[in-house]
Structure 1
Amino acid sequence: MNLNKQIRRLLLLDGLSNLHLAGTAWVLLLTLRGFTLTQIGLAEGVFHLVSLCCELPSGMLADLLGRKWTLAASRAMGALSALAMITARTGLGVCLAMGLCALGYNLASGTREAITYDSLLQCGQAERYLRVSAWQNIFWRGAGAAALLGAGLTAALGYRLAYGLDILVDVLAVLTALGLTEPAVGAPERRPRLSELPRGFRDCARDAADFLRANPAAAAVMLFNALVGALATLLGFFLQDGLTSAGAGNALLGPLLLLVALGGVAGSRAALLLERLPYRLTGLLCLAGVAAGAALSLTGRLPLLAAGGFLASACDDAFQMLTDARLNAMIPSQRRATLISVSSMTFSLVMIVLSPLTGAVWEGLL
């Protein structure tokens, strides 16, 4: 395996996977189309309900069938989600589009981390994972920031053209994923036939359950990380509407959302420094940072809204990367995607509870 070429392709894939004009500003586009925040909160809840149901099976598919094919399928689902959002006319249609988006997220969640870690492990460079992961997150957040910078332009273009551009980007991402090399580490001896998949799923589920029973500390790490991530994610979603309500016009909205997204880039760099601290202390510091960001965002003042979003994003990304590195060092390669998917499923459980509630509370506070 040419490790440097593999890493470059992974970085490109990360960038393309988040370079979505419409997908990044989906809350704004839906509000402009007349959907309420309560409806949007319910659609976000549907996203995480689908994610909860499909997260674990998608991780199993990645472990059983291969990681690069699963990543390609992820971006294909992203393109279908954008197409469904173009044709949606009711809340039900939006929920369908969000379900497809969730499936795309599921197929990538755990798979990206698994192919990255096992590529490094195969080349004897697993200790580089946190640094490579930081760069992946920088490419991911940087692409998202570029999309957010065009948030005002997105509103001017209209949702149809914006989602059409998202489809084009996803097609390019599919081609990039197909150019990856499948690591030999963690790969199945052979791909199971269709009739053998149910047994393969049972084996993956049993192995994952056995691991979590034997490693309760890993389960605790997943749960706490999910809480921090859910609070920061919800704040980021509803901040799009909060900035508009506070007086940010199309010209100012993009730069403000860009500032918020750059918090993730700052978090990527901060993770390399926070690695030196005890993990529990880092978790408490990041949770406090997210809480402080939420408090700033309730002031109704544009500079403080943006600062709160920046702080929450930075703390969330830093803690997420540190958690990924900690979990990857604990879990076996053969079930890496499955167990990372369990962590994402925990996040979805928390989001299902918090999404509709937070939408209603945010609407009442603002």
Structure 2
Amino acid sequence: MKINNNKLEFNIIKNYIFIFLSRLDLTQGIWMIYFATKGMDLTKLGILEGIFHLVSFSMEVPTGVIADLWGRRVSRILGRLLAMISMLLLIFSNDFYMFALSFTILAISYNLESGAGDALLYDSLKVLGREEEYVKINGKNEMFMQIGSVAALVLGGYLGSKDYYLAFLVSAIIAGITFIQSFTFVEPADTLKSVRVVKYETVKKTNLLLSQIIDSINIIKGNKKVGFLIILINIVSILATSMFYYLQNFWKTQGNSEFTIGIYLSISSLLAGFMATKVYKLKELLKEKGIMISIPIIIALSIWGIVITSGAQVFYAIICIADSIAYVIISDYINKLIPSKNRATILSFQSMVFSFFMILLFPLIGKLGDCFSLNFSFIIMAIIASLLSVLNVYVLTTKFRSI
């Protein structure tokens, strides 16, 4: 057991490295601009992202079940393999349908990682008796994620200004490195064994997938806090993600180079990563409820700031910081409320809700940008964010006072 515990300790350290490398995707700050050079207008860009999230929506739960029943490590390995394949496919793609195929494969790779990665970390801590450290450790994860994003945005912006294909090729190589590294993780064996024993004793092997999904749905139905927190964390994430992608094109139309845009985005990521390491202190000051009330309001005001001022760079940085804080705090709360045997599946439900919102909102923003302007799209987003922040305050102060 001691040896196994030592291996689980290394899971935490290896996860920092994995997160940094997996976020070292040099295409994240330039892919919309790159696709635009291939003849994709804002509407088609919105549809491509919609396809990505439509696939994510349909595949999140099945991939989460794979992680719960056959291992978080197995799920992570498969995810990185598909990420590498997707990146290679993008290098040789020249039309909408090939881009759509690549995004489909990429979506499944994200699905395989989304619930599995968090579940692997939390269950490792749980076996070690250190789950109370999750907020602090997840804050460090967020920091490494943002540092990886900073490096990717700066280097990707630089390579994109020289040759887009270099950025995609380097990203494919890095995906291959993370694929190899994913084999080094150790499964929290006790947790996985207990899941399988229970499942095989109660249902036939062919019914494992259905049973796992039904159990997870019942857990969410039985604890309305979990459902609310899943919606809240995704509202914050959808607004931040949409601004991240469409601001690229917005700044490009203002005459900024890919490298300059990469600098704007990377500074925001760096600030967000730094603040993520201080979230546990913020939690002590404001408590979970204070943070959950404040974050949507801050994001709504920041989007309005982008709309009515010339300081989009500053207000986007604030959005990034708020998104990181919300992710660390709400993820910790959700993990405390759900059992290990359903953790990856329920966290995949969380990602599925995100995909659902993206399917609805992202193509709409692109269409409004084509028909009117991106600034008009941002106005609509600001209105939506304002209404949701008011609704969030009402729900937290009337329906979930115990949070």
TM over 0.5: yes
Structure 2 residue runs without a partner (length 5+): 375-403
Structure-1 residue corresponding to 2:125: 120
Q: Which has the larger radius of gyration?
A: 2
Question: Following the alignment from structure 1 to structure 2, what is the Cα–Cα distance between the partners of residues 347 and 284?
Answer: 20
2:223 equivalent among 210, 215, 222:
215
> Which stretch of the first structure deviates more once superposed, 202-211 or 263-272?
263-272
Give CA deviations for 1:85-117 in whole Å, capped at 9, x if unaligned.
122222222121111111111111111110101
Query: Are residue 62 (structure 1) and residue 67 (structure 2) matched?
Result: yes
SS in 2 for 1:43: helix
TM-score by length of 1: 0.93
2:257 equivalent among 245, 249, 252:
249
1:30 equivalent among 35, 38, 50:
35
> Which stretch of the first structure deviates more once superposed, 88-97 or 245-254?
245-254
Contact 1:121 1:185 survives alignment (8 Å): no
Query: Are residue 316 (structure 1) and residue 323 (structure 2) matched?
Result: yes
Query: Are residue 280 (structure 1) and residue 289 (structure 2) matched?
Result: yes
State the Cα distance separating 1:175 from its structure 2 match.
1.4
Structure 1 residue runs without a partner (length 5+): none
Structure-1 residue corresponding to 2:135: 130
State the Cα distance separating 1:360 from its structure 2 match.
2.3
State the Cα distance separating 1:249 from its structure 2 match.
2.3
Amino acid across the alignment from 1:213: K
Runs ≥4 residues deviating over 3 A: 188-193
Question: Following the alignment from structure 1 to structure 2, what is the Cα–Cα distance between the partners of residues 300 and 360?
Answer: 23
Query: Are residue 20 (structure 1) and residue 25 (structure 2) matched?
Result: yes
Give CA deviations for 1:197-241 in whole Å, capped at 9, x if unaligned.
641111111111110121011111111221111111101111111
Question: Following the alignment from structure 1 to structure 2, what is the Cα–Cα distance between the partners of residues 68 and 24?
Answer: 29
Question: Following the alignment from structure 1 to structure 2, what is the Cα–Cα distance between the partners of residues 179 and 125?
Answer: 21
1:90 equivalent among 92, 95, 98:
95
Question: Following the alignment from structure 1 to structure 2, what is the Cα–Cα distance between the partners of residues 197 and 341?
Answer: 22
Mark the CA change 1:231 to 1:179 in structure 2 (over 3 Å): closer, same or farther: same
Amino acid across the alignment from 2:354: F
Query: Are residue 307 (structure 1) and residue 314 (structure 2) matched?
Result: yes
> Which stretch of the first structure deviates more once superposed, 92-101 or 135-144?
92-101
Structure-2 residue corresponding to 1:203: 211
Structure-2 residue corresponding to 1:296: 305
Query: Are residue 49 (structure 1) and residue 73 (structure 2) matched?
Result: no
The number of equivalent residue pairs is 363
2:273 equivalent among 238, 261, 265:
265
Contact 2:61 2:348 survives alignment (8 Å): yes
| RMSD after superposition | 2.1
TM-score by length of 2: 0.85
SS in 1 for 2:27: helix
Contact 2:30 2:258 survives alignment (8 Å): no
Give CA deviations for 1:269-321 in whole Å, capped at 9, x if unaligned.
352233232433312211112112222323473xx121121111111111111
% identical equivalent positions = 26
Mark the CA change 1:287 to 1:326 in structure 2 (over 3 Å): closer, same or farther: same
SS in 2 for 1:89: coil
